[in-house]
Amino acid sequence: MITLGVIGAGYWGPNLVRNFVNLPGARVTRVSDLSRERLQHMEKLYPYLETTQDYRVLIEDPGIDAVVIATPVTSHAKLAGEALAAGKHVFVEKPLSNSSEASLQLVKLAREKNLVGMVGHTFIYSPAVLKIKELLDSGELGEVYYISTTRVNLGLFQDDINVVWDLAPHDLSIFAFLLDAEPERVQGVGHSYIQPGIEDVAFLTYGFPGGRLANIHVSWLDPNKIRRTTVVGSKKMLVYDDTSNVEKIRVYDKGVDVHRHYDTFGEFQLAYRFGDIHIPKLDDGEPLKVETAHFLDCIRQGTHCRSGLEHGHQVVCALEAGCTSMREGGRSVEIEYNLSRAF
């Protein structure tokens, strides 16, 4: 039996509590939130829970094996650091931290203490992203040329982080998972139209090894909610629409073939292919259930953590570099991970 305590019962924390309490071999005994009202809400849902406004009660409880953190991003590193120092496994919501130096220290601490650390990068546990990974690994799309993603809606404006830190962690985690690689550099532009100094729209382009590109458009200022990713491969192309209920992924047998053998420019020819569209069937299931179960497996069986602290740190580095580029006129910024400093 793994006993968990959850810090943060705002919008997202209750989803984590619901999933952990429903998993066999796990129980949640304590929940902490600064808001008395949120704690009362949790007491109504789970009368057996002990609640506290002081997160330290949970971290110091010797009966708790793992601490789940679903508080605002700026508090993640402090809370996770204290939990790891107290010998607890940690599950931290995304992004791991708002600073790459702080996220690196978490990687180091978890290693030194031999504890499991996982980041809530939920999308890489979703049936749609797993299906795309399967299609890429099978070679069906050929070699990936580029990925382009749009994650926009109206609001919710945050006051402690910009739109990149709010929305782009999902895309960066998905890219690294799909491409089995980390981005090497980034160029970005963005602007703060509503709140001074807090960008509400951004366009970031990441360069991956092998010339692969991945572009992210994130915005809190868009009339429509769009969650669309396009993967362009040398053989096929794919569009993933996360807002669609029935046809999330469409695989297009479209492409362009170049006839390689030509002597004159006049013989240089492109052949366009317009083939079938395939809509793969996706497994049912809540990504969060798979994600929370994976965290328990990592603790129990030492399973390699798909979204471990290193993955979370790499996402933080890519976000930070994107914001640096955005604030320095879109210059190309090399992304440093410095993971050797954590070993």
Ligand X SMILES: NC(=O)c1ccc[n+]([C@@H]2O[C@H](COP(=O)([O-])OP(=O)(O)OC[C@H]3O[C@@H](n4cnc5c(N)ncnc54)[C@H](O)[C@@H]3O)[C@@H](O)[C@H]2O)c1
Length of the chain counted residue by residue: 343
User: Binding to ligand X by residue 147, rule CB under 6 A?
Assistant: no
The C-alpha R_g of the chain, in whole angstroms, comes to 22
- Of the candidates 111, 150, 103, 124, the one whose C-alpha atom is nearest the C-alpha of residue 320 is 103
How far is 163 from 156, CA to CA, in rounded Å? Answer: 9
CB of 149 closer than 8 Å to CB of 231? no
Q: Which stretch of DSSP H or E encloses residue 153?
A: strand 144-154
Q: Note the maximum CA span of the chain.
A: 79
User: Binding to ligand X by residue 98, rule CB under 6 A?
Assistant: no
Position among 55, 91, 125, 240 found at the interface with ligand X (CB under 6 A): 55
- CA dist list (Å): 327 to 19, 187, 204, 318, 323: 39, 10, 12, 14, 6
Nearer to ligand X, 12 or 157 (CB): 12
Nearer to ligand X, 122 or 150 (CB): 122
CB of 141 to ligand X, least distance (A): 26
User: Binding to ligand X by residue 75, rule CB under 6 A?
Assistant: yes
Total residues in contact with ligand X, by rule CB under 6 A: 22
User: Binding to ligand X by residue 117, rule CB under 6 A?
Assistant: no
User: Binding to ligand X by residue 103, rule CB under 6 A?
Assistant: no
Nearer to ligand X, 37 or 263 (CB): 37
Position among 5, 13, 117, 233 found at the interface with ligand X (CB under 6 A): 13
Position among 4, 6, 7, 290 found at the interface with ligand X (CB under 6 A): 7
How far is 265 from 267, CA to CA, in rounded Å? Answer: 5
Position among 18, 41, 46, 72 found at the interface with ligand X (CB under 6 A): 72
CB of 202 closer than 8 Å to CB of 219? yes
CB of 226 to ligand X, least distance (A): 16
- Of the candidates 175, 168, 181, 69, the one whose C-alpha atom is nearest the C-alpha of residue 124 is 175
* Nearest position to ligand X, beta carbon: 10
Position among 20, 26, 28, 32 found at the interface with ligand X (CB under 6 A): 32
Site string for ligand X, 193-232 (x = CB under 6 A): ----------------------------------------
- CA dist list (Å): 169 to 43, 94, 96, 283, 314: 31, 7, 9, 24, 10
Beta pairing partners, 28 = 4
Query: What is the number of other CB atoms lying within 10 angstroms of the CB of residue 264?
Result: 6
Nearer to ligand X, 184 or 286 (CB): 286
Position among 35, 195, 243, 338 found at the interface with ligand X (CB under 6 A): 35
CB of 37 to ligand X, least distance (A): 9
How far is 287 from 293, CA to CA, in rounded Å? Answer: 10
Site string for ligand X, 297-316 (x = CB under 6 A): --------------------
CB of 9 to ligand X, least distance (A): 6
Helix (H, G, I), strand (E, B) or coil at 204: strand
User: Binding to ligand X by residue 12, rule CB under 6 A?
Assistant: yes
Q: What is the contact surface with ligand X in residues (CB under 6 A)?
A: 7-13, 32-35, 38, 55, 70-73, 75, 93-94, 120, 122
